[in-house]
């Protein structure tokens, strides 16, 4: 877990409530929308008052009953009872459950996060403003994750990797707009492959200049062997994608088990990434690199996952985390997914308090392919 220092990050002031954030724009993607949530596109997305805010219990299948109020009632509930939601479990490390690292967080961390939720001052974390809207979307059941949440988590992983704060090395984490930009570039590339020239923004990704939040300057195929990112497919679903540059392979992990339905989306990465790797390679290595497309592998998954139809974003993040940390990916299932949501929320909030991430954000330099203001996903 990320440690939480005493110092609290400076609040961010807004001109339009707390729903606007400084993040990635649509320049370079031919005006493609970034929105990954369309109101009413999926009836399973609700704003019902029974949204969960109760922490998981330790053991599988023994979740505590939901006795705490939804986020809309935080202040009222707090005044009436004098305290926020409480953990009902014993420390997970004593459980020795192999999946505990996917959803375990301390009681102290939850208490601090809950205290902030009673008066949620918006806080910056990479390209995202962590506010009540984002927090609710993360921790409450029945909510789809959007680009904001995905990009914030990828930012944390970029910084942790660059500073050696965890085990994974020689890896890169892409933002949501990367997929949009690559898709737009592929649509230009496909009709005329022989004369196609890679646009500068794709070369910037290959040189590690993008994403600009948590910029690494690590070159694909030289300093980086693997790419990790969540991919929004078919206008309604998140999957996890890894690209193995050494083995020339694109792997997809879909909690919906929809094999062969994502191939068209994956082919774009299989064709474009080898071109980027070759273009940014040192001259003496370029001749040895092939432009032929990478192999696509859609990894078989457990059946009957994501029965809510709303947890695909959480699955995508946790599948990537399993791959990074060497954890059995089959441990992620509906039984622990709510705890996974809560841990993501706690980790993002703690990151807003961490001086390491604050320092990384001070070095942010906007890219010409990004603009300063984008509106957040709307809530009914």
Count up the domains in the chain and report the number: 1
3 located within any domain: no
* Cβ partners under 8 Å of residue 78, min gap 6: 84, 118
- Label the pairing between strands 237-244 and 226-233: antiparallel
pLDDT beyond 70 at 379: no
246 located within any domain: yes
11 located within any domain: no
Which CATH number characterizes residue 56's domain?
Answer: 3.40.395.10
pLDDT beyond 90 at 319: yes
Average pLDDT value for residue range 27-35: 41
Task: Give the per-residue pLDDT at 79.
Answer: 34
Establish how many alpha carbons lie within 13 A of residue 239's alpha carbon, considering only the half-sphere containing its beta carbon. 26
| Under 8 Å between Cβ of 210 and 367 | yes
Confidence of residue 54 (pLDDT cuts 50, 70, 90): low
The C-alpha atoms of residue 97 and residue 99 are separated, in whole angstroms, by: 5
The pLDDT tens digits of the residues spanning 98-140 come to 778 899 889 999 999 999 999 999 999 999 999 999 999 999 9
Bridge partner residues of 239 (DSSP)? 231
Task: Give the per-residue pLDDT at 237.
Answer: 96
Percent of the chain with pLDDT over 70: 72
13 located within any domain: no
Q: Which residue has the higher pLDDT, 38 or 217?
A: 217
Average pLDDT value for residue range 317-345: 95
pLDDT beyond 60 at 83: no
Mean pLDDT over the full length of the chain: 79
Task: Give the per-residue pLDDT at 258.
Answer: 81
pLDDT beyond 60 at 44: no
Domain that holds residue 165: 20-375
> What SS3 class is residue 272?
helix
Say what the pTM is.
0.78
370 located within any domain: yes
| Under 8 Å between Cβ of 118 and 103 | no
Task: Give the per-residue pLDDT at 267.
Answer: 97
Establish how many alpha carbons lie within 13 A of residue 236's alpha carbon, considering only the half-sphere containing its beta carbon. 12
Average pLDDT value for residue range 213-228: 97
Burial category of 3 from C-beta neighbours within 10 Å (exposed 0-12, middle 13-18, buried 19 and up): exposed
65 located within any domain: yes
368 located within any domain: yes
Lowest-confidence pick of 16-30, 145-159, 258-272: 16-30
Confidence of residue 337 (pLDDT cuts 50, 70, 90): very high
10 located within any domain: no
Task: Give the per-residue pLDDT at 89.
Answer: 39
The C-alpha atoms of residue 219 and residue 172 are separated, in whole angstroms, by: 9
């Amino acid at each position: 877990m990320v440690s939480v220092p005493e110092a609290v990050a400076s609040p961010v002031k807004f001109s339009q409530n707390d729903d606007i954030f400084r993040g990635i724009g649509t320049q370079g993607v031919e005006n493609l929308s970034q929105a990954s949530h369309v109101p009413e596109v999926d009836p399973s997305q609700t704003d019902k008052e029974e949204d969960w805010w109760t922490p998981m219990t330790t053991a599988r299948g023994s979740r505590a009953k939901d006795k705490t109020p939804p986020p809309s009632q935080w202040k009222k509930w707090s005044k009436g009872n004098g305290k926020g939601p409480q953990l009902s479990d014993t420390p997970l490390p004593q459980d020795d459950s192999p999946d505990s690292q996917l959803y375990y967080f301390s009681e102290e961390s939850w208490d601090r996060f809950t205290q902030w939720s009673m008066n949620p001052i918006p806080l910056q974390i990479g390209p995202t403003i962590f506010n009540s809207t984002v927090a609710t979307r993360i921790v409450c059941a029945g909510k789809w994750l959007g680009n904001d949440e995905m990009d914030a988590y990828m930012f944390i992983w970029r910084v942790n990797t660059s500073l050696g704060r965890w085990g994974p090395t020689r890896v890169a984490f892409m933002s949501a707009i990367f997929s949009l930009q690559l898709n737009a570039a592929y649509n230009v590339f496909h009709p005329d492959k022989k004369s196609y020239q890679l646009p500068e923004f794709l070369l910037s990704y290959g040189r590690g200049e993008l994403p600009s939040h948590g910029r690494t300057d690590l070159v694909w195929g030289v300093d980086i062997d693997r790419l990790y990112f969540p991919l929004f497919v078919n206008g309604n679903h998140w999957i996890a994608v890894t690209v193995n540059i050494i083995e020339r392979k694109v792997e997809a992990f879909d909690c919906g088990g929809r094999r062969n339905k994502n191939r068209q989306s994956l082919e774009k990465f299989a064709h474009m990434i080898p071109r980027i790797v070759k273009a940014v390679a040192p001259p003496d290595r370029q001749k040895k690199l092939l432009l032929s497309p990478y192999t696509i592998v859609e990894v078989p998954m457990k059946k009957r996952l994501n029965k809510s139809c709303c947890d695909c974003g959480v699955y995508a993040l946790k599948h990537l985390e399993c791959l990074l940390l060497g954890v059995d990916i089959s441990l992620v299932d509906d039984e622990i997914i709510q705890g996974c949501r809560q841990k993501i929320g706690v980790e993002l909030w703690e990151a807003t308090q961490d001086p390491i991430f604050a320092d990384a954000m001070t070095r942010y330099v906007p890219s010409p392919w990004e603009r300063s203001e984008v509106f957040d996903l709307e809530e009914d």
